[in-house]
Amino acid sequence: MLLLCNYYVTYRCNAYCDFCHFGDHTNFKNTKFADLDDYRNNIEQIAKLGVKFLDLTGGEPLLHKNIVEMVEYAKSLKLQTSITTNGLLYPKYAEKLAGKVNLLHFSLDSPYEAVHNKIRGVYCFQSVLKSIELAKSLGEFPDILFTVTNDTYESLPEMYKLALKFDLVLIVNPVFSYFGNPGLNGQAIEFIENYSKGKSNIYLNSAYLELRKNGGNKRDKPLCKAVSRVIVISPDNEIILPCYHFGNEKIKIDRPIKEIRNTQKIKDLIKMEGRFDFCEGCTVNCYFEPSFAFPTNLYGLISLPSKIRYSYQKLIRQKFFLKNTTKTVQVNK
């Protein structure tokens, strides 16, 4: 059952994060951007196939000149959308995006300006803070996304204070191991787990940490549903399989997606999901979030409380905003 589409609208990025290998910084002139007509055609099809969530990603998704049209079209199809941005370009699109992105995340890797800017390889700390203030002024309910590493986990208390200052949810996103990057060590996992307990403003999918403590995905007892629950589409209008991070198959979308999904190749890949050599020890959050979407195993059950708390936190903030907006309107009358 397809749940999520990770749509890479471009690989180009205007930051140089030291833990990220997505961004294309070497060939800007020829960097591909997703074609708007292809995009519309594709998401209309995936919506009919049951996809509920659309992550518009990159690279930096706000580098795509049609990002507003993309969000609007997804909303017209009743898809839930998410965008994660470094904040540099958010002011350019803020008003046009207001009220249209379901989950707006601002990446912040440290509560300390110099550290964040060093990690990002660009001066963007102040841009994030200004973007947060701007988003809130427009009635948005953004989250602060903290990709926590072995070098930054001890700053979690200060990150939490910063989230409280803005009255936002802090998403703790444990870095995962791929392309030679180390994942979280045991000390970092213990610290994050202990500190996050009981803090309603922190969203941490506890199943992520449990998965890491247990050594990640096991080929003999696979947990990953990267093919059956996720569809990954590239800026080149291709489906990447079995997942973006370890993609070794690319299928051009030159026929109906339903037809592609019904091919024997896809059926074989579904049988192999979580069983490839590179699947051993995998902890890539992008695929385990939908893999643990239903409480059908231990990890799904562990995920449930954090998801309920997150939804509740978002709901009460929205109600508070609407209540105060109504009061303001009545006073102005």
Which H helix or E strand runs over 239?
strand 238-241
Of residues 17 and 43, more confidently modeled = 43
Smallest Cα–Cα separation from 317: which of 165, 106, 167, 104? 167
Residues β-bridged to residue 78: none
Structure tokens at 87: 């904040």
Of residues 17 and 154, more confidently modeled = 154
Amino acid at 239: I
CB 224, CB 282: distance < 8 Å? yes
Smallest Cα–Cα separation from 174: which of 144, 152, 141, 199? 152
pLDDT computed for residue 328 by the predictor = 41
User: Is a pLDDT exceeding 60 seen at residue 23?
Assistant: no
Q: pLDDT digits over 219-233, tens only?
A: 999 999 999 999 999
Which whole number is the average pLDDT over 42-52?
Answer: 97
- Confidence (pTM): 0.92
Q: pLDDT digits over 298-321, tens only?
A: 999 999 999 898 988 878 766 655
pLDDT computed for residue 177 by the predictor = 74
C-alpha count within 13 angstroms, C-beta hemisphere, residue 132: 23
Q: Which domains does the chain have, with CATH numbers?
A: 4-332 (3.20.20.70)
User: Is a pLDDT exceeding 80 seen at residue 205?
Assistant: yes
pLDDT computed for residue 248 by the predictor = 81
Residues β-bridged to residue 160: none
CB 269, CB 247: distance < 8 Å? no
Q: pLDDT digits over 224-279, tens only?
A: 999 999 999 999 999 999 999 888 899 999 999 999 999 999 999 999 999 999 99
CB 97, CB 71: distance < 8 Å? yes
> Rounded CA gap, 293 and 68, in Å?
28
